[in-house]
DNA sequence: GTCTATATAATGATAGAC
DNA sequence: GTCTATCATTATATAGAC
């Protein structure tokens, strides 16, 4: 989609530089001057094109969202949400800036972060419903909540990637291409795939005692609450 | 531990105001002036006590870490990592600032965030090993990786809490005390507890076909890699 | 469209009185 | 220890020439 040669319009070059810098340093730390320098233009031109720094941010939001949305449509096939992250990582460097941008957006108060998370949840829910139909995924009572949990677990690898690699000692130090994607390296993903799938296949607990206990506790809680409603 | 009345030293009051503001707005957005205003002192006094804004941040890191570390020691009993988050939430408001601060730290490049994540992983690993011994948790091949995954899943609720509540429509709007803890409300936790425990108990997939497929793929990958090493 | 030069505001930090 | 006043820097944004 994007040509490797630098034949972009100046406006697009500024926007891409901003996406990279906002993702790397965060929106408030990244300055218009730095964006301009990276894009090879004057600071004034950045404002001329986008009106303000906030306008630049919205243009970045919109562009990253459009990129990942079209990407999501193409890759709607794979059976596991895990593949969503993995697919991005298989394009080494090409989507690194967008990944970092989304990672920041998920932490900030951002329209792009909200939309991206919701899109992942919706896609996950679709996968679960199809999997239940096909008999490959268990038939859950609350599909929506389950989808939120699975999406949350998957995106945790994106948001906490830096910590994952450090905790596993797979960190190859700064400057590696892993740092560009928030710490998730192909090696790290390989190390975590089987343990994660193991939990998703056979569970984490040895039996259902914790689940049963929680069910009882919640029912007792509800009963107490209802009782208090009648006698406050 | 902390008295509710405002009998803290001025230095501690400034530090607590900074923890609250850094957690709410992020380190770069929060200004020394705003911290001073919230603490009811002059901006100059903040610098006088902590040398610089960075010095103030380090004092906050140190204090939050000490708070959560001692808390972690006390609450090392509960069998599930999930309880770690739940315990904090059971102290409504009392640790809200520290939670928000840690949430920011996990996203930023921060010593406090690193230390906190590692502490959670270590504690999780201990819980898993004890659970294996007691027969309540499955006997995993790679306990360390499993602990990292479980910790990542648990902390995802902290980092992505805002998105979780929005995706589930449990959002009570801004200004709620849920927004102070990053979007995690007791209601939200209640809604997610059973689905999460269900996955942790019975798994997510209906059978082992995905796990087996991944095992085969990884072995094939390794074989290919080894083959290429011999014949590059 | 793009640049240079500048206005304006806010920030972190300092100096010195009390 | 605490404040007021101020400095120096940096940021966003504007104005006008080319």
Predicted confidence at residue B12, as pLDDT, reads: 98
In sequence order, the 6+-apart residues with CB closer than 8 A to the CB of A189 are A85, A86, A89, A157
Is the pLDDT higher at A193 or at A228?
Answer: A193
Q: Is B54 on the interface with A (CB under 8 A)?
A: no
**HSE (CB half, 13 Å, CA atoms) of B46?**
27
Are B203 and A201 in contact by the 8 Å Cβ rule? The answer is: yes
Of B142, B199, B207, the CB nearest to A149: B199
Checking each nucleotide's C1' against the CA of A49, the nearest proves to be C1
Predicted confidence at residue B49, as pLDDT, reads: 98
In the numeric block, which tokens belong to residue B59? 């004092």
Of A142, A203, A208, the CB nearest to B138: A203
Region A75-99 average pLDDT: 64
Region A56-66 average pLDDT: 96
Chain A residue nearest residue B119, CA to CA = A167
Nucleic chain C contacts, Cβ below 7 Å: A 10-11, 40-45, 48-49; B 30-34, 43-44, 47-48, 51-54
Are A35 and A14 in contact by the 8 Å Cβ rule? The answer is: yes
Region A75-86 average pLDDT: 54
Is the pLDDT higher at B102 or at B91?
Answer: B102
- Reply yes or no on whether the pLDDT at B190 is more than 70: yes
Predicted confidence at residue B28, as pLDDT, reads: 97
Predicted confidence at residue B66, as pLDDT, reads: 92
Give A92's pLDDT tier (boundaries 50, 70, 90): low
Is the pLDDT higher at A86 or at B60?
Answer: B60
Residue B14 to chain A, least CA–CA distance (Å): 23
Other C-beta atoms within 10 Å of A210: how many?
20
Is the pLDDT higher at A90 or at B8?
Answer: B8
What proportions of chain A, in percent to the nearest 5, are helix, strand and coil? 70, 0, 30
Is the pLDDT higher at A190 or at B56?
Answer: B56
Report the residue of A198, A218, A223 to disrupt the B interface, i.e. the one with the largest count of B CBs within 10 Å.
A198
Give A68's pLDDT tier (boundaries 50, 70, 90): confident
Region A81-109 average pLDDT: 78
Mean pLDDT of chain A: 85
Distance CA A153, CA B159 (A): 11
Contact (CB<8Å) B135/A190: no
Nucleic chain D contacts, Cβ below 7 Å: A 30-33, 43-44, 47-48, 51-54; B 10-11, 40-45, 48-49
Are B189 and B158 in contact by the 8 Å Cβ rule? The answer is: no
Predicted confidence at residue B229, as pLDDT, reads: 47
- Reply yes or no on whether the pLDDT at B209 is more than 90: yes
Predicted confidence at residue B174, as pLDDT, reads: 59
Predicted confidence at residue A177, as pLDDT, reads: 62
Predicted confidence at residue B232, as pLDDT, reads: 43
Q: What would you report as the CA-atom Rg of chain B, rounded to the nearest whole angstrom?
A: 22
Are B36 and B45 in contact by the 8 Å Cβ rule? The answer is: yes
Predicted confidence at residue A232, as pLDDT, reads: 43
Predicted confidence at residue A7, as pLDDT, reads: 67
Q: Is A155 on the interface with B (CB under 8 A)?
A: yes
**Read out DSSP for B109-169?**
S-HHHHHHHHHHHHHHHHHHHHHHHHTSB---S-HHHHHHHHHHHHHHHHHSHHHHHHHTT
**Distance D16 C1' – B121 CA (angstroms):** 59
**Distance D4 C1' – B12 CA (angstroms):** 23
Q: What are the CB-based long-range contacts (under 8 Å, 24+) for B220-223?
A: B221/A190
Region A92-112 average pLDDT: 89
- Reply yes or no on whether the pLDDT at A81 is more than 60: no
- Reply yes or no on whether the pLDDT at A75 is more than 60: no
Predicted confidence at residue B90, as pLDDT, reads: 62
Report the residue of B22, B192, B195 to disrupt the A interface, i.e. the one with the largest count of A CBs within 10 Å.
B195
pLDDT in tens, A104-152: 999 999 999 999 999 999 999 999 999 999 999 999 999 999 999 999 9
**Read out DSSP for chain B?**
---SSS---HHHHHHHHHHHHHHHH-TTTS-HHHHHHHHTS-HHHHHHHHSSHHHHHHHHHHHHHHHHHHHHHHT---SSTHHHHHHHHHSTTTTHHHHHHHHHHHHSS-HHHHHHHHHHHHHHHHHHHHHHHHTSB---S-HHHHHHHHHHHHHHHHHSHHHHHHHTT----TTSHHHHTTT--HHHHHHHHHHHHHHHHH-SBSSSHHHHHHHHHHHHHHHHHHHHHH--
Predicted confidence at residue B96, as pLDDT, reads: 87
pTM: 0.90
- For residue B157, the chain A residues in CB contact (below 8 A) are 152
Is the pLDDT higher at B104 or at A73?
Answer: B104
Chain B residue nearest residue A218, CA to CA = B190
Distance CA B15, CA B19 (A): 6
Give B177's pLDDT tier (boundaries 50, 70, 90): low
Region B125-138 average pLDDT: 96
Q: Is A54 on the interface with B (CB under 8 A)?
A: no
Is the pLDDT higher at B168 or at A182?
Answer: B168
Are B116 and B65 in contact by the 8 Å Cβ rule? The answer is: yes
Burial class (CB in 10 A: 0-12, 13-18, 19+), B148: buried
pLDDT in tens, B8-45: 899 999 999 999 999 999 999 999 999 999 999 999 99
- Reply yes or no on whether the pLDDT at B134 is more than 90: yes
Ranking A94-103, A204-213, B21-30, B135-144 by mean pLDDT, the lowest is A94-103
Q: Which of residues 125-154 of B touch A (CB under 8 A)?
A: 131, 135-138, 140-142, 144-146, 148-153
Predicted confidence at residue B75, as pLDDT, reads: 56
Region A201-229 average pLDDT: 82
Report the residue of A80, A115, A152 to disrupt the B interface, i.e. the one with the largest count of B CBs within 10 Å.
A152
Distance CA B177, CA B172 (A): 9
Region B58-84 average pLDDT: 72
Predicted confidence at residue B230, as pLDDT, reads: 47
Q: Is B225 on the interface with A (CB under 8 A)?
A: no
Residue B30 to chain A, least CA–CA distance (Å): 10
Predicted confidence at residue B173, as pLDDT, reads: 57
**Distance C10 C1' – B31 CA (angstroms):** 10
Share of chain A above pLDDT 70, in %: 77
- Reply yes or no on whether the pLDDT at A19 is more than 70: yes
């Amino acid at each position: 989609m994007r040509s490797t040669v630098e034949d972009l319009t100046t406006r697009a070059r500024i926007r891409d530089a901003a996406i990279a810098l906002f993702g790397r340093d965060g929106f408030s730390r990244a300055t218009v001057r730095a964006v301009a320098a990276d894009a090879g233009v004057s600071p004034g031109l950045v404002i001329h094109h986008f009106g303000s720094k906030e306008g630049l941010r919205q243009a970045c939001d919109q562009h990253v969202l459009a990129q990942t949305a079209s990407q999501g449509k193409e890759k709607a096939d794979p059976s596991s949400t895990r593949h969503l992250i993995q697919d991005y990582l298989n394009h080494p460097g090409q989507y690194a800036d967008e990944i970092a941008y989304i990672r920041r957006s998920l932490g900030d108060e951002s329209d792009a972060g909200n939309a991206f998370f919701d899109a992942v949840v919706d896609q996950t829910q679709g996968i679960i419903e199809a999997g239940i139909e096909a008999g490959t995924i268990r038939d859950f009572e609350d599909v929506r909540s389950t989808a939120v949990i699975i999406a949350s677990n998957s995106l945790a690898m994106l948001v906490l990637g830096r910590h994952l690699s450090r905790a596993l000692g797979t960190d190859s130090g700064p400057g590696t291409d892993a740092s560009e994607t928030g710490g998730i390296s192909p090696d790290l993903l390989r190390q975590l795939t089987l343990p994660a799938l193991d939990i998703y296949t056979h569970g984490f607990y040895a039996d259902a005692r914790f689940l049963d206990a929680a069910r009882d506790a919640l029912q007792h809680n509800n009963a107490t609450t209802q009782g208090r409603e009648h006698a406050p």
